[in-house]
Structure formats: C-alpha cells, structure tokens
Amino acid sequence: MEKLIFEKSVKGRRAYSLPALGFDSFSSENLLPERFRRRRELNLPELSEVEVARHFVKLSKLNYCIEDNVYPLGSCTMKYNPKVNEKVATLDGFATLHPHIDEDSCQGALQLMYELGESLKKITGFTGVTLQPASGSQGELTGLLLIRAYHLDRGDTKRNKILIPDSAHGTNPASSAIAGFQVITIKSDEDGRVSIEDLKKYCDETVAGFMLTNPNTVGLFEKNILEISRLIHDCGGLMYMDGANLNALLGIVYPAEMGFDCMHINLHKTFSTPHGGGGPGAGPVCVNDKLEPYLPVPQITFDGQKYHLNYDVPKTIGKLHSFFGNFLVFVRAYTYILMNGTEGLKKVSKGAIINANYLLSKLKDVYRQPYNEHCMHEFVITGENQKKFGVTTKDIAKRILDFGFYAPTIYFPLIVHEAMLVEPTETEAKERLDEYANVFLQIAKEAETNPEILLTAPHTTPVRRVDDARAARIVNVNYFKGETKG
C-alpha cells in the first residue's frame, strides 16, 4: 500500500512558504482570547512541495471512477458526467452567489431554478415541483410528508400505512418509517412484478399510499401499473413513484400518466450530475394538483417579468433544506437537459435500454437470468450456475475488479438469490460492453477450472479482499502512528 503522508514526513522539510510579514498586528495572540488558542504545536507532516503533489496524485490514481472505465452499478445510474456541466457550474455568477442575496440581484439563478422545475414537470407530466430535497431518499421523505398532509387536511386521520413491494430499495421503507408510517410489504410474483393478489389484501381505508419504482429494481416495467393505480386510488390512497429509474423512461413514458400522484427524481443519476461518495445530490419532487398546496417553501414563481421567492403558502409542509437545495447540482442538471433537448433525452433512454439488452444477451446463456424476458435500462443475472464450483456472486464481483472494471450491484434486489444488478447506461460504447461481457464470460470459465482465483480475488487492487463484516462493525479511520488499527 501507498505510505501515509505522515510516514513520509522528514523533520525540517518545507514546501513553499510566504516570507514573514514583519509586523504582528494580525497574529492570533491579538485576535483570539487565550482560552481558544492552541496549546500544543500541530503535528503536521513535513514535506517538500513536489512530495506533497506526488502523494496526492498517487492517491487519486488508486481511486476508481467513471473516467476510468465502465461503472455498471445497477439502480445507481452511474453515467458519464459531461464536462460542460462542470464548466457551467464553476461560472463565477453561479459558484460565488450568496444565498442571502436579494431577489433582484439573482434573477438569473432564480430563472435557472424555475426553468429546471418547468423542464422536470414536462419530463414527468406533473404540474407542481420542488427542487429542495438533497437526495432521492430525502425526496421520498418529502413526498410522504406531502401525502400525509393531504390526508390530514381532508380530516382523513386513519391512514397510517404505506405499501411497498418486496423488491424495493431500502430507502423506501426507511423514509416511510421516518415520516411516521407503518410499512406493509407487498410480495412480487414469479415474473418479478407486484403481486396484484397480495396487493388487494391490503387495500383499505388505512392505506396512505403505495410506493413503487417503475421500471422496478429487477429492471422490468410494471405492466399492470394502471390497475395498481386504480386499486390504490379506489381505496383512497395515493401513488408515489420512486423515480430512481427514470433513465429508462425519458420522452417515452410520463409518470403522471401511469396514475402516480408524485415522484422524486435523482438529478445525480438520470441527469448526470456526479455522485458516489455520498453527494452532493438533488432529489426534486414533482406532484399533481392534489399535492401542490403542501409543497415546501420557498416556491419559485414568475410573474411574466420577474422571478420571486414565494413563502406565502398556507398549507406548506415547510422547509426540507436550507435555502433552496443544492444549487450547483441544479446548474449541472439544467445544462445537461438543455444540451440534450427533448429528442436527445429520448435517445438517452433508448440508448440505456439497448445497451442493457445487448449486454444481457451476451451473458444470459452463462449466468442465470431469473426473469426470462427483455429488460429495461438494467437487468438481473445471478451467480447460481457458478455456485456448484464453490464460488458465490461476491467472489465473481471481486474477480471483476482484477480486470480493471467496476462490479455491478450485488445481492440487491433482495428477492433474487445471488443477484447481480447490471446497469451499463447509455454512455458506454459497444466496444466497452463487449470487453465487459468478455470479463464476465472469462470469470465463468475460471469458476469451473480455477475457482481458487475467484475465492482469493481481487489480486490487483491497492486493497485486497476486506473483511466486510468487520469493516462495517469496527469502523476506525483514525491514523495511529506506526500502526493501522481497525
């Protein structure tokens, strides 16, 4: 492993430093009261400038990113982030804007947020929007609070349940619980879709809503969506769409027309703003007229001449984020939408679906495909065929890393044994997909002839196989001189 920067320290080494000021009126002794001052010298590493530069460049090369190679992490839509987005987001007028600036001085920024909201409404078919939530999961919480406000406003106080399919992403039950609802799990049928039979058992006057991902997390379109929406609406509930898989629908299907009342959009997935490592992201929520009165404040309005921040919304659920949300994420998503245009966005989704099906067709004879049909923008295969050689999906995923590729999502969705959820996205060329397929096929051969190489993988990465259980339970990222603990 690369040495830690502390271990490279040599006493007395210096990088470039400014000459002494020659006066001391700004020294910390004059400005800081005694009790706030440092008592010990900081134990910082001492290195020359070139050593510091080399250290961080080396570290950056240990990292894997979409600019390295394919990043087919199913459900996460890790597509390439066009650099023009970054260029626009670093324009001074956007990057240095102060959130307390008055309305008149930031009309451009307000216009951008307003128009991004309008674009998202067009893309989804909804009539209301808030950009505030900072992530998909916070969007879920927002949507659920809107649904709760809607029922309570009608004096309908018995609705305390949210129905969620067993294939759902873990954030769905988590955000439902945080919003104060009881979670009811609905089974999936053998074809990977919501069991209508099971759903019917729970449709009653205690249902606040149904939370559904479409296409769902096994990469299939919920064909019975109109019937599902009717069942839920008939019992007085509302339909929430987890929009994390919107990358399959752009310009092809409008979620509002499938009977959903609201949805969140992950700008950091579908609209190409960078993610991984925990943010920043944005999870705008789009709603129909039933939920519009409760949207968070401030709302951005346009009177034909000027843009305003409207806080005067009597039934609002309040604020979900400081100020307006993650503004520079909006700038990137807005740039991406304008660069693609209506036709471009449709091509994005079609490309994502074609790429996924192409890759699936190359793998499905070797890896088990639990749902034997065409997929949407992602697909599930499993490591079950390889289990008889003593290897698991995890070993396959670890071995993929040795070939310089990132592994797909594994062991999700939970309803499929030994699952691998693969989402190549539209930004991969055919050559990359062929290479990736070949890696999978070679590993399947290795599983037969040399399973040991899978069991001990990865062999070429800076960190070899970690003990997942220990790493999750005993997290310690502190530096201890002379030893690495944890």
Ligand X SMILES: *Cc1c(COP(=O)(O)O)cnc(C)c1O
Interface residue list for ligand X (CB under 6 A) = 75-76, 135-137, 169, 171, 213, 217, 242, 244, 266, 281, 283
CB nearer ligand X, residue 85 or residue 266: 266
Structural contact between residues 290 and 156, judged by C-beta atoms closer than 8 angstroms: no
- Nearer to ligand X by C-beta: 211 or 300? 211
Q: What's the min distance (Å) between Cβ of 455 and ligand X? A: 30
Query: In whole angstroms, how close is the CB of 391 to ligand X at the nearest point?
Result: 27
* Contact of 316 with 295, CB cutoff 8 Å: yes
Give me the phi and psi of 362, to 5 degrees please: -80, -20
CB of 439 to ligand X, least distance (A): 24
- Pair 216, 222: CB distance under 8 Å: yes
Instruction: Find, among 284, 230, 310, 262, the residue nearest to 148 by Cα.
Output: 262
User: Of how many residues is the chain composed?
Assistant: 486
Sheet containing 207-213, strands listed edge to edge, beginning at the edge strand earlier in sequence: 128-130, 285-287, 262-264, 238-242, 207-213, 161-165, 182-186
Looking at the Cβ atoms of 82 and 276, the one nearer to ligand X is: 276
- In terms of CB distance, is 70 or 76 closer to ligand X? 76
Which one, 213 or 355, has the nearer CB to ligand X?
Answer: 213
Q: Which residue is nearest to ligand X (CB)?
A: 136
Least Å distance, CB 458 to ligand X, is: 25
User: Residues 142-145: contacts with CB within 8 Å, 24+ apart?
Assistant: 142/264, 142/283, 142/285, 142/296, 142/317, 142/320, 143/240, 143/262, 143/263, 143/264, 143/285, 143/287, 143/291, 144/175, 144/176, 144/179, 144/181, 144/208, 144/209, 144/211, 144/240, 145/179, 145/294, 145/317
Nearest CB to ligand X, comparing residues 213 and 392: 213
Minimum CB distance to ligand X smaller for 175 or for 382: 175
Nearer to ligand X, 246 or 457 (CB): 246
* DSSP for residue 66: T
Phi (first) and psi of residue 162, to 5 degrees: -115, 130
Rounded to whole angstroms, how far apart are CA atoms 390 and 431?
A: 31
Nearer to ligand X, 117 or 284 (CB): 284
- What is the smallest separation between the CB atom of 452 and ligand X, expressed in angstroms? 34
Place of tokens 């697909």: 379
94 C-beta neighbours (distance < 10 Å), count = 18
Tokens representing 46?
């001492």
List the beta bridge partners of residue 445.
Answer: none
Angle of CA points 159, 184, 240, to nearest 5°: 65
> Please, are residues 398 and 410 in contact by the beta-carbon 8 Å criterion?
no
Nearer to ligand X, 143 or 251 (CB): 143
Tokens read off for 449: 């002839």
Find the shortest distance in angstroms from Cβ 243 to ligand X: 8
Least distance to ligand X, CB of residue 140, Å: 7
Report the nearest approach of ligand X to the CB of residue 360 (Å).
19
Please tell me the distance from the alpha carbon of residue 237 to that of residue 260, in angstroms, as a whole number: 11
Nearer to ligand X, 281 or 325 (CB): 281
Q: CB within 8 A of 457, min separation 6: which ones?
A: 395, 398, 399, 401, 402, 465
Q: How far is the CB of 168 from ligand X (least distance, A)?
A: 7
Of the candidates 252, 293, 284, 241, the residue with the CA atom closest to the CA atom of residue 266: 284
Least distance (Å) between residue 419 CB and ligand X? 14
What's the min distance (Å) between Cβ of 223 and ligand X?
A: 18
Listing DSSP states for 291-311 in one string gives TGGG--SPEEEE-SS-EEEE-
CB of 302: closest distance to ligand X in angstroms? 28
Nearer of residues 265 and 300 to ligand X, judged by Cβ? 265
